[in-house]
């Protein structure tokens, strides 16, 4: 029998290796930027088209390559950065595997232009899918330019797998920020589809952070400094009251390399113990310098996770250093604490009452037209079907009113069109268009549940989830039918965001306008909000937007529906009345009634149960 094992041809091996190194355009950005840094550049330009799908180009003024190196750099395991395995333990460069360019060249069209200072002329090489297309001598400035076009042109499955432009662009910006933050001594600039995204002059670390994240970053930060035998720490952490809703401003750098570490993150969070509101996240930019031999960066192909020799000690030192800085800051004058007190109440009733509710009701609607006998068994079964499937049952609303003891007693005396009196009940701060029957007896339990008697038992409504459901349906409706009510602000709000966040807001502009936001994006990285949806108070605006950005950061809208859905979900989550908030009777009633006027009543937008019922028989059994 003939032998069947064969060596894979190089271009195939490279394509396979590429899968590890290049997941998306942002991976190319990272590799090229790191190579430029390693080449000693002081000026690095990143040019991107169509979120990297069409072009990723990095131009540097570093040392360039001679003609042999310019050819060699595309070979696998071709690197100038290590010579032997031991060098791995004394690594001061970002690269070392010699794999990136070979991988990229295997799955894209690559154009390299490079010239060394001492040379008169440079070299221009074109490679497509590992195949050399041309090589010429050319007049070029000193340095290197890599242009990567049509990424994944020969792996359609991968190309199709790429996410929307917003998402890919966000990944690119993340990579750019990480490299730029690690090297403030290098001038970085970035352009996307012909317009400037960043221009970051050579500066110190603090200035670099401020240039990237803009706005109030400077006043947010306190310095963190510590030097011990095993680690030198420098950088900044944010004052607790500037904590964000998301983790987008948390950075560790070890020997100028961005890394992720859940363990070290935990150390920081424990330094903030007791200083942060639930779920809020401090910003931090911490630069650790350790002896290269005390870490192993070789454990992860994309090199963002590393192993430390003495993790426990590092944890303790880091925690103490941050704690110390925050402590120092706490004795500083209280003037810095100037904050809007209404932010402390997640749902601001005082402001919310300024809303102008509209009441819609169907005058012809007769809840008792459905004259099926209301036997207890029938009610409970219709209810439990509705409840257990978690699906949308339009009929449930019709049955719902018949569950009320009060309504049933008045059955004969209520005229068909006699629901006007309920309009008064509905004119409330929480809901705009409740038009079904209302409950009138409610009781709040544990500042978490609203209990209300129904015929043959009681209903227990989860206040937070029920309100989420109500708001979610309202917002979704506003976005899709494009008529969210807006209230104009007397003084427009200026909110500051980083470039990445501004871009995301810009992408959502239509949907946000539909829900009732009126705003303009300003060149200087601020959003000027002049109108807000009627059920959002001024003090909640930045909270809502921050939450939205962080939700979008972690998840990905692929279609306009999923974008609308996500915006509605996120806003409902930020604005829904929280557990722990005392509700007056009116608000309790509105939540219960609002919930049962929803299309889907059984679950909140995050698929958690909104209410349950207890039948009198169940109670009887307890006696
Ligand atoms: P690694 O960075 O791990 O060495 P790469 O495939 O990224 O592997 O690069 C291969 C080699 O090409 C590098 O070691 C370096 O010598 C050379 N090189 C890559 N990019 C540049 C650049 N921008 N300027 C000068 N030399 C470069
Ligand atoms: Mg490299």
Closest ligand by atom to 36 CA: 1
pLDDT of residue 224: 94
Q: E strands of 455-588, at which residues?
A: 457-462, 486-496, 518-522, 526-533
What is the C-alpha to C-alpha distance for residues 607 and 468, in angstroms, rounded to an integer? 11
Which ligand gives the minimal distance to the CA of 73? 1
Domain segments of the chain as ranges: 10-200, 205-328, 444-614
Q: Is the CB of 259 under 6 A from ligand 1?
A: no
What are the Cα distances from residue 553, in Å, to 100, 115, 168, 501? 27, 40, 11, 9
Q: Which has the higher per-residue pLDDT, 554 or 230? A: 230
Ligand 1 centroid to Cα of residue 80, in Å, is 7
> What DSSP letter does each residue of 97-114 carry, written as one string?
SS-HHHHHHHSSEEEEEE
Task: Indicate if ligand 1 lies below 6 Å from the C-beta of 382.
Answer: no
Q: State the pLDDT at residue 476.
A: 86
Q: Phi, psi (5° rounding) for residue 78?
A: -100, 110
Cβ–ligand 1 contact at 45 (below 6 Å): no
The residue whose CB lies within 8 Å of the most ligand 1 atoms, and thus the one to mutate among 36, 70, 79, 106, is 79
Output Rg (C-alpha) for the chain, integer angstroms: 30
Domain 205-328 is of which CATH architecture? 2-Layer Sandwich (3.30)
pLDDT of 436 over the 50 cut: no
Tell me the three state secondary structure of residue 427.
coil
Rounded (to 5) percent helix, strand, coil in the chain = 40, 20, 40
Distance (angstroms) between ligand 2 centre and the Cα of 33 equals: 8
Superfamily of domain 444-614: MutL, C-terminal domain, regulatory subdomain (3.30.1370.100)
Ligand 1 close to Cβ of residue 60 (< 6 A): yes
Q: Are 223 and 326 contacting, i.e. CB atoms less than 8 angstroms apart? A: no
Question: Per-residue pLDDT tens for 104-162?
Answer: 999 999 999 999 999 999 999 999 998 999 999 999 999 999 999 999 999 888 888 88
pLDDT confidence of residue 501: 78
Tell me the pLDDT tens digit for each residue of 526-544. Answer: 788 999 988 888 888 888 8
Q: Is 388 helix (H, G, I), strand (E, B) or coil?
A: helix
Instruction: Specify the residue for token string 């200072």.
Output: 117
Least confident of 50-54, 181-185, 283-287, 297-301: 297-301
Closest C-alpha to ligand 1, atom 16: 80
* Nearest ligand atom owner, CA of 105: 1
360 burial level (CB within 10 Å; 0-12, 13-18, 19+): exposed
Q: Is 73 in the pocket of ligand 1 (CB under 6 A)?
A: yes
Task: Write down the mean pLDDT value for the chain.
Answer: 79
Burial track 181-205 (b if 16+ CB lie within 10 A, e otherwise):
bbbbebbbbbbbeeeebbebeeeeb
Is 70 exceeded by the pLDDT of residue 66? yes
Residue 616 beta carbon below 6 angstroms from any ligand 1 atom: no
The dihedrals phi and psi of 576, each to the nearest 5 degrees, come to -65, 145
Atom of ligand 1 nearest to the CA of 60: 23
d(CA 114, CA 473): 57
Is residue 143 lining ligand 1, measured as CB closer than 6 Å? Answer: no
> Which amino acid residue places its CA nearest to atom 12 of ligand 1?
73
Quote the ligand 2 centre to 210 CA distance (angstroms).
28
User: Which residue has better confidence, 385 or 257?
Assistant: 257
Tokens of 558: 């692929």
Higher pLDDT: 181 or 541? It is 181
CB of residue 148 inside a 6 A radius of ligand 1: no
Asked whether 232 lines ligand 1 (CB < 6 A), one says no
State residue 504's pLDDT score: 81
For position 379, what pLDDT does the model report?
A: 33
Q: Which of 22, 27, 34, 35 to mutate to test the pocket of ligand 1 (most atoms within 8 A of CB)?
A: 35
- CA–centroid distance, residue 110 to ligand 1 (Å): 14
What are the tokens at 424?
Answer: 């008064």
- Residue 301 Cβ contacting ligand 1 at under 6 Å: no
In degrees, rounded to 5, the angle at the alpha carbon of residue 218 between the alpha carbons of residues 542 and 216 is 20
Candidate from 253-257, 292-296, 495-499, 534-538 with smallest mean pLDDT = 495-499
Regarding the beta carbon of 27 and ligand 1, being less than 6 Å apart is answered: no
Which atom of ligand 1 is least distant from the CA of 94?
2
Q: Could you list which residues have their CB under 5 Å from ion ligand 2?
A: 35, 95, 100
pLDDT for residue 373 is more than 50: no
Q: Tell me, which fold does domain 10-200 have in CATH? A: Heat Shock Protein 90 (3.30.565)
Identify which ligand lies nearest to the alpha carbon of 58.
Answer: 1
- Count CB atoms within 10 A of the CB of residue 48: 26
How many Cβ atoms from other residues are within 10 Å of residue 432's Cβ? 21
CB 551 within 8 A of CB 569: yes
Q: Which is it for strands 457-462 and 611-615: parallel, antiparallel or unpaired?
A: antiparallel
**Ligand 1 pocket check for 144: Cβ under 6 Å:** yes
Query: What spacing in Å lies between the alpha carbon of 80 and ligand 2's midpoint?
Result: 10
What CA–CA distances, in Å, run from 420 to 409, 436, 555? 19, 11, 44
- Please report which confidence band the pLDDT of residue 367 belongs to, taking 50, 70 and 90 as the band edges: very low
Under the banding of pLDDT at 50, 70 and 90, the label for residue 317 is very high
- CB 39 less than 6 A from any atom of ligand 1: yes
Q: What pLDDT does residue 524 have?
A: 62
Distance 225 CA to ligand 1 centre (A): 33
Residue 397, pLDDT > 60, answer no
């Amino acid at each position: 029998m003939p032998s069947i094992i064969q060596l894979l041809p190089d271009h195939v091996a490279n394509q396979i290796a590429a899968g590890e190194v290049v997941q998306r355009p942002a991976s190319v950005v990272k590799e090229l930027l790191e190579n430029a840094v390693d080449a000693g550049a002081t000026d690095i330009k990143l040019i991107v088209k169509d979120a990297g799908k069409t072009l990723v180009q990095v131009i540097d003024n570093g040392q360039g390559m001679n003609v042999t190196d310019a050819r060699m750099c595309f070979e696998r395991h071709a690197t100038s950065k290590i010579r032997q395995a031991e060098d791995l333990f004394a690594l001061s460069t970002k690269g070392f595997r010699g794999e990136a360019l070979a991988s990229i060249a295997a799955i894209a069209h690559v154009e390299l232009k490079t010239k060394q200072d001492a040379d008169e002329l440079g070299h221009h090489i074109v490679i497509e899918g590992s195949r050399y297309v041309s090589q010429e001598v050319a007049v070029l400035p000193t340095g290197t330019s890599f242009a990567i076009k049509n990424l994944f042109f020969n792996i359609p499955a991968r190309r199709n797998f790429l996410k929307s432009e917003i998402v890919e662009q966000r990944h690119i910006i993340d990579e750019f920020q990480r490299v730029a933050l690690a090297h403030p001594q290098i001038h970085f600039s970035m352009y996307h589809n012909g317009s400037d995204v960043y221009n970051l002059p050579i500066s110190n670390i603090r200035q670099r952070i401020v240039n990237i994240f803009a706005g109030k970053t400077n006043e947010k930060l306190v310095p963190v400094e510590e030097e011990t035998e095993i680690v030198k720490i420098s950088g900044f952490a944010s004052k607790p009251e500037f904590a964000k809703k998301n983790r987008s401003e948390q950075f560790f750098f070890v020997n100028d390399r961005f890394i992720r570490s859940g363990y070290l993150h935990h150390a920081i969070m424990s330094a903030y113990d007791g200083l942060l509101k639930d779920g809020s996240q401090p910003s931090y930019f911490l630069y650790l310098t350790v002896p290269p031999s005390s870490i192993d960066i070789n454990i992860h192909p994309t090199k963002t996770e590393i192993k430390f020799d003495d993790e426990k000690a590092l944890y303790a030192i880091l925690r103490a250093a941050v704690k110390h800085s925050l402590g120092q800051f706490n004795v500083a004058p209280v003037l810095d604490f100037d904050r809007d007190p209404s932010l402390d109440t997640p749902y601001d009733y005082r402001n919310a009452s300024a809303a102008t509710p509209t009441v819609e009701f169907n005058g012809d609607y007769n809840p008792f037209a459905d004259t099926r006998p209301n036997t207890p068994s029938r009610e409970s079964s219709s209810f439990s079907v509705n409840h257990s499937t978690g699906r949308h049952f339009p009929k449930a609303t019709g049955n719902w009113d018949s569950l009320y003891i009060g309504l049933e007693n008045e059955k004969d005396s209520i005229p068909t069109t006699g629901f006007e009196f309920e309009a008064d009940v509905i004119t409330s701060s929480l809901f705009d268009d409740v038009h079904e029957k209302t409950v009138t007896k409610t009781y709040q339990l544990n500042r978490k549940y609203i209990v209300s008697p129904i015929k043959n038992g009681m209903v227990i409504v989860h206040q937070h989830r029920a309100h989420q459901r109500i708001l979610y349906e309202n917002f979704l409706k506003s976005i899709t039918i494009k008529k969210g009510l807006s209230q104009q602000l007397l003084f427009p709000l200026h909110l500051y965001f980083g470039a990445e966040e501004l871009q995301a807001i810009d992408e959502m502009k239509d949907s946000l306008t539909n829900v009732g936001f009126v705003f303009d994006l300003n060149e200087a990285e601020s959003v000027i909000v002049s109108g807000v949806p009627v059920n959002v108070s001024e003090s909640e605006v930045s909270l809502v937007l921050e939450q939205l950005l962080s939700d979008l950061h972690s998840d990905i809208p692929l279609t306009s529906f999923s974008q609308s859905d996500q915006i509605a979900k996120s806003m409902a989550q930020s604005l829904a009345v929280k557990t722990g908030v005392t509700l007056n009777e009116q608000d309790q009633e509105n939540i219960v009634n609002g919930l049962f006027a929803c299309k889907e009543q059984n679950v909140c937008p995050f698929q958690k149960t909104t209410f349950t019922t207890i039948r009198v028989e169940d109670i009887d059994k307890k006696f």
